[in-house]
Amino acid sequence: MRLAIDIGNTLVKAAVYEENTFIERFQFTADAYEKGFEKILLKYPDCLDWVLASVGQISSDQFKKYSSSVRVHLVDHAAKFPFINHYHTPQTLGIDRMILASGAVLKYPKQARLIIDVGTCITYDFVDAQDVYHGGAISPGIQMRYKALHQFTAKLPLLEKLQPDDFIGKSTAGSIHSGVVLGVVHEIEGFIDQYEQTNENIIIILTGGDADFLAKRLKNTIFAHSNFLLDSLNQMFQYQTQND
């Protein structure tokens, strides 16, 4: 058994796998990660391989304390990836975006892929059918947009995300929900349309914490998979093991 660990900007997410079979998912805040992993170790003592990537505040060095009981495998920029990287500044490319691109290449071979990760930020990553990674886009995520409207104005309230009833907001709250949620929907659909114009039969993968929330609003044919990064980490472990 193995444990895939995604250390994000806001949360730590982890999932237990038996080869390619998903067993259980865990999620906890960064300040509670030690208790979280103690719980996982107690429940799954045979989960001896931990494969992890971090874009958050918890460094990989903090996992050395577990090396006496498990094998920790860090996926960083020095790892072997299943695509050719044409990003102009490869060292600034987030490791989470590289892992998502890798998972798309391994799961959907010989097809153009667009991976859309709707989390703290919304990232778009494009890999063509020849497994060349080209780049994409980064924009503010849903919660960031709500917070920005509140923090950078004098009177707009801070709201929790909510599906708007109508595209016409008939109150301040309704206008905010329409602007944030439908603004994100139109942004995503606009990007998808652009990629589909130049890439026939492109695979669209929607993932991240807000994937399920947004999927029902999107008109385009997509694969909504909120655990795609964890699945991709599991696939990356197998890919690296086979290609060492």
Residues listed for the chain: 244
Enter the tokens of residue 102: 């890798």
96 as an active site residue: the answer is yes
In angstroms, the CA 79 to CA 82 distance is: 10
3-class state of residue 151 by DSSP: helix
> Half-sphere exposure of 145 toward its Cβ, with a 13 Å CA cutoff?
19
Enter the tokens of residue 208: 């991240």
Instruction: Evaluate whether 224 touches 240 at the Cβ level (below 8 Å).
Output: no
Instruction: Evaluate whether 53 touches 230 at the Cβ level (below 8 Å).
Output: no
Helix then strand then coil, in percent of the chain rounded to 5, is 40, 25, 35
Choose, from 96, 117, 125, 131, the residue flagged as catalytic.
96
| DSSP at 9 | S
Catalytic positions:
96
